[in-house]
Structure 1
Amino acid sequence: MFAVNDGFEGFYKGQIKEVKWSDVGGWTGQGGSLLGTKRTLPAKHADKIAEQMRKYNINALLVIGGFEAFLSLLELLAARGKYDEFCVPMVVVPATVSNNVPGSDLSIGADTALNAITAVSDGAMRLDRHTHTHTYTHACSAGREGRLKPGDAPPLRTAPPPSPPLRVFKTLHCSLSRHAASPPFIIFSHSFRPAPCLPKGSRSHYHTERAGNSGYAPDSPSALESLLQLYEVRSAYEEFCIPMCMLPATISNNVPGTALSIGADTALNAIVETCDRIKQSASGTKRRVFIIETMGGYCGYLATVGGLAAGADAAYIYEEPFDIRDLQANVEHLTEKMKTSIQRGLVLRNENSNDNYTTDFIYQLYSEEGKGVFDCRKNVLGHMQQGGAPSPFDRNFGTKMSAKAMQWLSKKLLETYRRGRVFANSEDSCCLLGMLGRTLVFQPVVTLKDHTDFVHRIPKEQWWLKLRPLMKILAKYKTSYDVSDSGQIEHVIHTRPKESDASVAM
């Protein structure tokens, strides 16, 4: 594989060099363009670019960049009739903070820029949280597209650390009445526990205490399980014959029926940032391996996706059983790695990945087997993954989910309101709102029972497991990556939503 410096300007000038694994080690955790960028389009220099392609026998092109990269491929496509050298497979990978590349919802770098903008804005607001007369103007730039990246910002004084996310689950005292002209909404946290016995009568009072994130207690049912229980007792208690909706909100990302949960992205950012800091702390130390324990219950999402982003050599999770032979193979792999120019290792372990192979056990095993070759350090991240301000993605995701849920509830109330009362007892009146693909979908909770492992509180099928071979490849293990289903083109037809159905546009 060859790398070209400074875009198509470097291409026609011959700034081409061969790259190997050792040349790109650690690139995923570094910002900026390590190859350099230029806005030069290839049309004016097509003859020189074709000459370079002949010289180096280039049979495919991978172009990484923003809108100019998109335009460049269009120009090369138009020049195929004149230059046979351009009749090769070509693909653009969108990478720009502006997020302005056609054909892609999100570009590489846009989320990082949003995080930077939000951090600056949060810091400014924290400085004067007791003063309501200050207005801050942040200078941002992103060309003419209107997307943002940090520019000039007001100087920030030392501010106190951000408090944990605001708890929106306040004490509620809701009276459910079948005769009320306008039935109230109920909001409760995911650790809500249905009462063991419910009073009979036409009017019931429920008092939910202010609750925190206690989803890891073994006797605490999940929100999904709670909603299933309320649905199943509808025949005995008419008070539960009302529209009910669940929004998945947990850092574990272990809710069936959705690809992502509110809070998971924030926790993932905390894990990757901590891993980067830990690796940086040993930048001057040779031959060291870090063992890091993540949260997530029995779900290995945080360990796997965090390990992929942080450049981990291994990630131990419950969904992929492992034994002492696998641990030994990983130690041997790291031993060989220490002979190369990259003499640091990173291993992540999900907290419930194995009852016997604990974090302490793995740390002691690596320390003993790697004695004389590398030394070990361990770190249990713990509740660091739950604190801090939410990421921009989680803020926008939560806002979008909440708006759609309220629209759905309002619509269901109108549909089920008859003769002065609300009565909703169908399956589609008790739903989970989840993200499937790029769409927010309401799914009856009763249909998710067969897709759930209630003992370990995880979905029976999880999309991110397909990423694990990719992590091994990046760690230089000899394995293959199945891309059989990744080349399908999704055809999207944009239709203008009707004014009566505003939820379609969400």
Structure 2
Amino acid sequence: MATSALGLSYSIISSKNEEAYGQTVKFYELLGFDRVIGNHESEGETELQQTWLRLKGGKQTSSLIIKIVLNPEVTLHRQEPLTTDKDWGLEDTLFVLNVPHLQPIMHTLTERDIPFQETTTSILIQDPNNNVIALSSKLNPVSEQPQQQLQEQRRKKIGILTSGGDASGMNACVRATVLYGISKGCDVYAVYEGYQGLVDGGDYIKKMDWRSVTGYLSVGGTSIGTARCMPFKTREGRLKAAENLIKNGIDSLIVCGGDGSLTGADVFRSEWGGLVAELFKTKRITEEEATIFQHLTIVGLVGSIDNDMSSTDITIGAVTSLHRICEAVDSVDTTALSHSRAFVIEVMGRHCGWLALMAGIATGADFVFIPERPPAEEDWETAMCNVAKRHRELGKRKTIIIVAEGALDKHLNPIKVDHIKDILSDRLGLDTRVTILGHTQRGGSPCAFDRILGTVQSVAAVDAVLASTPDKPSPMIGMNNNKVTTKPLMDAVKLTHEVAKAIESRNFERAMELRDPQFLDEYKVFNVTTILDDNSIELPDHQRLRIAILHIGAPAGGMNSATRAAVRYALNRGHTVYGVANGFSGLVRGCFEQLNWMDVDGWTTCGGSYLGTNRAVPGKDVDMGMVAYRLQKMNIQAVMLVGGFEAYASLVEIDKVRYEYPSLCIPMCLIPATISNNVPGTDFSLGCDTSLNVIVSASDAIVQSAQSSRRRVFVIEVQGGRSGFLAVEGGLAVGACAIYIPEEGIDLPRLQGDVQFLKGLYDTDDPQKSEGRVILRTESVSKTYTTKVISEILEDEGGARFDSRTAVLGHIQQGNTPSPLDRIRASRLAIHSIEFFEKHTRVALDKQQDAVELATGEESIAVIGLCGAEVHAKSIKTLLPTTDMKNRKPHHDWWHRDRALVDILSGRSYYSCIE
């Protein structure tokens, strides 16, 4: 019986009696197989006697595994051996083994007087169970076929290399390419040291198997290396690279790198036909090789911490780099506050200011300098000093300036950190320090976002390889509006180069246009919450609002960030803002506090909820009439809720009765904030990214413990309510071997299948290097099959193979410092919320300045959510039909598309069970 496990070919060979069993084990050991796992028994049952063997080939041959089983009940395909006067190759059933070399095996068989038959492509032998074995080092061992047919039937061989500057998440790309490629029946090769390895060949091009990428997800940088390669820029260098690919049978190349690396790959493809012709002409490759390898497939993945590639919203490594920057700035922030200092911090970004701008928003910096949008003022030094001075006069004890390394003034003169330091010291008398973060921005374990991004894009890259045709342009895999996209590689590179050209020609408007719309929106967010605090964007008196902000539900990272941004933008517009303590329970008690600029200073980096939060829903837990009364008494003209499904349910209840209470006929909106990510109307809720990073960090530590203990499975319980978002995306980010989510539930057949799956995993492990493995279980998936019960079942069934432990992460998933993504998302959504209020009150206030019923339309009570890269306001009336109120979630979630990948990349799709 032949099957496949964990990306490694293996077969089960059954023997009917003890004698045949022993002879079979010895027979395959003669062929070069090594014993992996010998006979064993599990607790409580006696298993079939079995022996695992592995054939370890050369660099070009993957490990081949067979399991020999003693099974008296088996029915053998052939009872008696074939006679030597018959052609064994004509038999209906052949067991084909691909081996690195035939000569040593033929020598062994001859020495032992074991009969065999030799063909032009293989040797045929019979094992002690009378199976006919075809041993071959060729692609097609049993027949001679036309070349075109041979080309069509050969296994796809894919190379993966990382090039240019390293970026956290590249290892996730390599891992996913290897695992998913194997799942699609491909052979996958890693090219070490980037293009240099392609030119040098030999040991730099290595075939990967399932075990080759163990532990890759949590490692930063690139484990297969990257290096500058001047030879590849020459034709002779590319000729050597082509020869090395052909000799290794590789006809497809996935390249993860920046625009320079991807451009080099496309040039390589465009020259491929000429390179192959020259190699054949100089007899460096055979005619057969020249015929088979007529075309080279190139697929690009963008690995760049700068996020500087056009045609994609985000690049692999950029978010992790932002994490490193924010960690550094958060640390500097405390010492700046202690000493009332100014810090000027340089971050990477030669032609792209994404890192500087995002860090400015996420850390609450006072000023940022980016290449695409230099200061508009001729005298930018004075403009910067004015902002710093205003903030100091408001009561700030610290000043943080973030500068992209490629920052310029409007005349293309570089803006350097030391010059800024001197200006702040000389003009404002500030004790100023300079911090250049340098290559710390490239390092560290990848964040959850980059692990998931690298994984899903690499899966798409393998699919693009398999779908590629010679006439298609090389594709680049990107991410647009939260969907993986495939676009022509060189079109994206061309647009990317246009940004630098626009900056060089001082066409800064064009440079900003070439960035994605999200970048423009975030640039505005920073300005209106930080720079434009000088009364320059105030509204007329009659259009100014009294706004209340409430936090509803469980705490989530980003709640405070949203409140800070809303307060500061609202104050800049001339509005009055009240923070309401403890949600609707506090509202009915009259717990209103007017907030000013400095009241929310420093809130960006703080987790939890400073206003306080609870789950009370008006109309159910608190009296709706009292809610209306308090809003009327305080003359509140707009309400912003920040929270989870309870906040959504609150708007649903208010929408039912708002026309009964004039004070409820005002614009109301919800900024989704819950780690469960279960609020309709948004792809991402505030707090879910922070929670994923907590899960990833904890799971990495748990996996390390499991590896150290050898042969151990941890069942990790995560939160999420009735939503499996955290388990699915967390499972993808940590490489979980199984997940349990409410959408699927748990039953005995599922548990039995998982037990068998885990047995197979540990049976094929190297006993001295067994992996630590984790299973993620959503807390509410089952009342019967609790985390402890599942662990105990695994412990009992695992027997001598593995043991099991539990880890309940609990409320640490709701805490910790908010991630940069949650801070940035919070700020964007807050600005759009204030604009939402202004839009829905403008007409009524223009007609009657003291109007009570400011907004009566259905669109005026809505969820302000992220739909892809854009922010949309979706009314409660529109969202309610799409909502499963009983299970507190939308009927359809985008993240279900990733569910199958967890199983595929764990090896489940290749392995049903070990018999």
Same fold (TM over 0.5): yes
**Residue 384 of structure 1: how far off its partner (Å):** 0.6
Equivalent in the alignment of 1:135? 342
**CA 1:205/1:65 → structure 2, altered by over 3 Å: closer, same or farther?**
same
**Residue 137 of structure 1: how far off its partner (Å):** 3.9
The alignment partner of 1:280 has SS state of helix
Residue 9 of structure 1 aligns with an amino acid whose one-letter code is: Q
Distance 1:104 1:360 in 2: 43
- Residue by residue over 1:404-442, the C-alpha shift from the partner in whole angstroms, topping out at 9 and shown as x without a partner, is 111121122113333231532111111111112222111
Residue 891 of structure 2 aligns with an amino acid whose one-letter code is: K
- Residue by residue over 1:73-110, the C-alpha shift from the partner in whole angstroms, topping out at 9 and shown as x without a partner, is 33235435634668433211111222222322211111
**Residue 124 of structure 1: how far off its partner (Å):** 2.7
Distance 1:277 1:139 in 2: 32
The alignment partner of 2:873 has SS state of strand
Residue 218 of structure 2 aligns with an amino acid whose one-letter code is: G
**Residue 207 of structure 1: how far off its partner (Å):** 12
- Residue by residue over 1:350-399, the C-alpha shift from the partner in whole angstroms, topping out at 9 and shown as x without a partner, is 00011211111111111111122211111110011111110000011100
The alignment partner of 2:659 has SS state of coil
Which one has the bigger helix percentage?
2
Task: Pick one of 747, 751, 758 that aligns with 1:323.
Answer: 747
The alignment partner of 1:48 has SS state of helix
Task: Pick one of 426, 438, 442 that aligns with 2:873.
Answer: 442
The answer to whether the 8 A contact 1:338-1:374 is kept is: yes
Residue 198 of structure 1 aligns with an amino acid whose one-letter code is: G
1:91 aligns with 2:299: yes
Distance 2:857 2:682 in 1: 22
Equivalent in the alignment of 2:686? 262
Equivalent in the alignment of 2:633? 205
Task: Pick one of 226, 229, 239 that aligns with 1:37.
Answer: 226
* More moved, 289-298 vs 196-205: 196-205
Task: Pick one of 447, 455, 459 that aligns with 2:886.
Answer: 455
**Residue 11 of structure 1: how far off its partner (Å):** 0.5
* More moved, 111-120 vs 194-203: 194-203
1:114 aligns with 2:543: no
Residue 623 of structure 2 aligns with an amino acid whose one-letter code is: P
Distance 2:823 2:879 in 1: 26
The alignment partner of 2:674 has SS state of coil
**Residue 152 of structure 1: how far off its partner (Å):** 7.8
1:27 aligns with 2:216: yes
**Residue 236 of structure 1: how far off its partner (Å):** 1.0
1:431 aligns with 2:865: no
Distance 1:432 1:166 in 2: 15
| Unaligned segments of structure 2, at least 5 residues | 1-187, 277-292, 357-435, 441-555, 564-578, 591-610
**CA 1:455/1:298 → structure 2, altered by over 3 Å: closer, same or farther?**
same
* More moved, 285-294 vs 73-82: 73-82
Equivalent in the alignment of 1:105? 313
- Residue by residue over 1:436-478, the C-alpha shift from the partner in whole angstroms, topping out at 9 and shown as x without a partner, is 2222111111111111111121111111112111111111111
The alignment partner of 2:307 has SS state of coil
The alignment partner of 1:283 has SS state of helix
**CA 1:205/1:2 → structure 2, altered by over 3 Å: closer, same or farther?**
same
The answer to whether the 8 A contact 1:76-1:86 is kept is: no
**Residue 62 of structure 1: how far off its partner (Å):** 0.5
Residue 884 of structure 2 aligns with an amino acid whose one-letter code is: D
Distance 2:624 2:199 in 1: 77
**CA 1:101/1:87 → structure 2, altered by over 3 Å: closer, same or farther?**
farther
**CA 1:265/1:101 → structure 2, altered by over 3 Å: closer, same or farther?**
same
1:384 aligns with 2:812: yes
Counterparts of 1:52-91 in structure 2, within 5 Å, are: 52-80=244-272, 82-83=274-275, 87-91=295-299
Equivalent in the alignment of 1:348? 776
The answer to whether the 8 A contact 1:173-1:207 is kept is: no
Distance 1:202 1:4 in 2: 67
Residue 895 of structure 2 aligns with an amino acid whose one-letter code is: W
The answer to whether the 8 A contact 1:12-1:52 is kept is: yes
TM-score by length of 1: 0.82
**Residue 234 of structure 1: how far off its partner (Å):** 2.2
**CA 1:253/1:201 → structure 2, altered by over 3 Å: closer, same or farther?**
closer
The alignment partner of 2:343 has SS state of coil
**CA 1:245/1:92 → structure 2, altered by over 3 Å: closer, same or farther?**
same
1:414 aligns with 2:846: no
Equivalent in the alignment of 1:151? 438
**Residue 401 of structure 1: how far off its partner (Å):** 0.8
* More moved, 415-424 vs 17-26: 415-424
Distance 1:454 1:343 in 2: 41
Task: Pick one of 38, 46, 49 that aligns with 2:241.
Answer: 49
The answer to whether the 8 A contact 1:291-1:346 is kept is: yes
The answer to whether the 8 A contact 1:165-1:388 is kept is: no
TM-score by length of 2: 0.46
Distance 1:303 1:30 in 2: 21
Residue 311 of structure 2 aligns with an amino acid whose one-letter code is: G
Distance 1:124 1:166 in 2: 23
- Residue by residue over 1:146-165, the C-alpha shift from the partner in whole angstroms, topping out at 9 and shown as x without a partner, is 44694389xxxxxxxxx987
- Residue by residue over 1:158-186, the C-alpha shift from the partner in whole angstroms, topping out at 9 and shown as x without a partner, is xxxxx98775554387999xxxxxxxxxx
Task: Return the index of the structure with the highest Cα Rg.
Answer: 2
Equivalent in the alignment of 1:396? 824
Distance 1:439 1:214 in 2: 20
1:283 aligns with 2:707: yes
Aligned residue-pair number: 452
**Residue 143 of structure 1: how far off its partner (Å):** 4.9
Distance 1:313 1:285 in 2: 18
**Residue 303 of structure 1: how far off its partner (Å):** 1.2
**Residue 126 of structure 1: how far off its partner (Å):** 3.3
Distance 1:207 1:264 in 2: 34
**CA 1:150/1:276 → structure 2, altered by over 3 Å: closer, same or farther?**
farther
Greater RCO structure (CA 8 Å; 6+ sep): 1
Distance 2:781 2:437 in 1: 40
**Residue 191 of structure 1: how far off its partner (Å):** 3.5
Equivalent in the alignment of 1:500? none
1:305 aligns with 2:494: no
**CA 1:150/1:290 → structure 2, altered by over 3 Å: closer, same or farther?**
farther
* More moved, 384-393 vs 136-145: 136-145
Counterparts of 1:241-256 in structure 2, within 5 Å, are: 241-256=665-680
Equivalent in the alignment of 1:156? none
Q: CA RMSD in A?
A: 3.1
| Unaligned segments of structure 1, at least 5 residues | 154-162, 177-186, 216-220, 481-506
**Residue 294 of structure 1: how far off its partner (Å):** 0.4
The alignment partner of 1:107 has SS state of coil
The alignment partner of 1:105 has SS state of coil
The answer to whether the 8 A contact 2:587-2:630 is kept is: no
Counterparts of 1:148-227 in structure 2, within 5 Å, are: 150-151=437-438, 170-171=580-581, 191=615, 193-194=617-618, 195-198=622-625, 204-205=632-633, 222-227=646-651
Distance 2:660 2:815 in 1: 41
**Residue 227 of structure 1: how far off its partner (Å):** 0.8
Equivalent in the alignment of 2:719? 295
**CA 1:164/1:227 → structure 2, altered by over 3 Å: closer, same or farther?**
closer
**CA 1:190/1:57 → structure 2, altered by over 3 Å: closer, same or farther?**
farther
**CA 1:402/1:12 → structure 2, altered by over 3 Å: closer, same or farther?**
same
**CA 1:87/1:25 → structure 2, altered by over 3 Å: closer, same or farther?**
same
